Amino acid sequence: MARSRWLRGRDIRGARMIELFVITAVSAVLVVRAYLELTGYPELSGGGLHIAHTLWGTLLMLGGQLVLLSFLGPRAKAAGAVVAGTGFGLVVDEVGKFVTADNNYFFQPTFAIIYAVFCLVIISMRWLADRHDKDPATELANALAIAETGVLDGLTETARAQGARLIADARAHGADELMTDAATRMIEACPPAHPSHRRRAEFMRRLRRLVRTVVRSNAAFVSVCVVLLIMVVDSLTTVLPGLLGTVTATPTVARIVQFGAVVAATVLIVVGFLRWLRDRRDGIRILRYAVLVNILIGQVFNFADRQLAGLPGVVVNLGMLAVLTHQLRQDVGDCGTTRARDRADV
């Protein structure tokens, strides 16, 4: 109960804003690194001063906080997430200077550290987003936050339906009738969103539908299976023998962990395919675990060894994770539909 109270007031749209923050921060790191590479790493300095981009990043994070503290509504949150995310990207890009005695911006494990930081942020975000505490106060507060948006900018039909659903959930979980009735009237009284907002919402809805169609397609799933099989062959013939030689010659904790992660991912892939022959859903779940091991552990060492050149590996693994996650959800949904039909038949 204490933990539920600590999490009371969680914004159901917060995960989307944190995603925007992370995407902006990652983009800032990539843009800065690309710009510095193309321009030969210039220095903004003069009079014996060196202005590191950590300073600009700190100012941007301050600006993002001021926006969040000064304005209401999701547009202010989005703007604050973008500004603060850009600043955070500029700050974390120089982490090599903070962990080395000689302020080495080119410290090789820098990208591994940056990647680990973003992984922790995303894991924390997903943990919060996946919690479904049936707290009527939180549900009603989120419905009123949607009404607040409606007062400022109007509501799309999707937002209006979401607000009504939250009020219904709050009422079902014991919220005060006077408060839920008042919230319902507020949602209903909000004007429709401006046509430009509706067009933007419709564009995002179609974009999400397109992404879901792609990741749920059989072609995407077959491609993931092919990539996973290639990973197994590459691990058994190249990666594992090379790491085994390194661990044997100079055993370090980092190399032992890397070796263990590759072994675990390879074993999980093999077990997942074997299990898939008997139970498709369990097989996909195990394959998803293999990809998660690779993303959360293997790719850290990939960045440590290859730095920015390791980025394509992360993109491929995130794509595989999206496909396997949607396949798993689709299978769970199909099972739920089948069980519902069985009950109806009875």
Q: For strands 49-50 and 45-46, give the pairing.
A: antiparallel
Summarised one tens digit per residue, pLDDT across range 64-114 is 999 999 998 888 999 999 999 999 999 998 888 888 888 787 787 787 888
pLDDT beyond 60 at 335: no
Quick one: pLDDT at residue 7? Answer: 64
Q: Is 265:229 a contact under the CB 8 Å cutoff?
A: no
Strand partners, 45: 50
* Top mean-pLDDT range of 45-49, 50-54, 100-104: 100-104
How many other C-beta atoms can be found within 10 angstroms of the C-beta atom of residue 208? Answer: 10
d(CA 301, CA 304): 5
Residue 270 predicted with pLDDT over 60: yes
Instruction: Kindly tell me the burial class for residue 183, based on how many C-beta atoms sit within 10 Å of its own C-beta (0-12, 13-18, 19 or more).
Output: buried
Task: Please report the pLDDT score of residue 331 as a whole number.
Answer: 62
The residue whose two tokens read 């983009």 is 27
Q: What is the mean pLDDT of residues 244-261?
A: 79
Q: Is the pLDDT of residue 345 over 50?
A: no
Backbone phi, then psi, for 13, in 5-degree steps?
Answer: -95, 5
- Provide the residue ranges of all domains of the chain, joining segments of one domain with +: 2-129, 136-214, 216-335
337 pLDDT more than 80:
no
165-185: average pLDDT: 90
Over 60: is that where the pLDDT of 341 sits? no
- How many CB atoms are located within 10 Å of the residue 219 CB? 9
Residue 227: CB atoms within 10 Å: 15
Q: What percent of the chain has pLDDT over 70?
A: 89
- HSE-CB of 211 using CA atoms within 13 angstroms: 10
What gap in Å lies between CA 56 and CA 49, rounded to an integer?
A: 15
Closest CA to 91 of 131, 59, 123, 63: 59
> Is residue 251 over pLDDT 80?
no
Q: Do 298 and 239 touch, CB atoms closer than 8 A? A: no
For residue 53, what pLDDT is reported? 80
State the alpha helices, DSSP H only, in 40-129. Answer: 53-70, 74-92, 95-99, 110-129
Lowest mean pLDDT among 18-22, 121-125, 126-130, 209-213: 126-130
Conformational region of residue 154, where left means phi above 0, alpha means psi within -120 to 50, and beta covers everything else: left
Q: Is the model more confident about 261 or about 84? A: 84
Average pLDDT, the chain: 82
Query: Does the pLDDT at position 49 exceed 70?
Result: no
Cα–Cα separations (whole angstroms), residue 181 to 174, 175, 178, 188: 13, 10, 5, 11
Per-position b or e across 290-321, b if 16+ CB within 10 A of its CB = bbbbbbbbbbbbbbbeebeebbebbebbebbb
How buried is 39 (Cβ within 10 angstroms: 0-12 exposed, 13-18 middle, 19+ buried)? exposed
Query: Distance from CA of residue 25 to its chain's centroid?
Result: 12
pLDDT value at residue 88: 94
Burial of 75 (0-12, 13-18, 19+ CB in 10 A): middle
Instruction: Tell me the whole-structure pTM to 2 decimals.
Output: 0.72
**Whole-angstrom distance, CA of residue 286 vs CA of residue 292:** 10
- Given a cut of 60, whether residue 274 has pLDDT beyond it is yes
Under a CB-based contact definition with an 8 Å cutoff, are residues 157 and 122 in contact? no
Of residues 40 and 264, the one with the higher pLDDT is 264
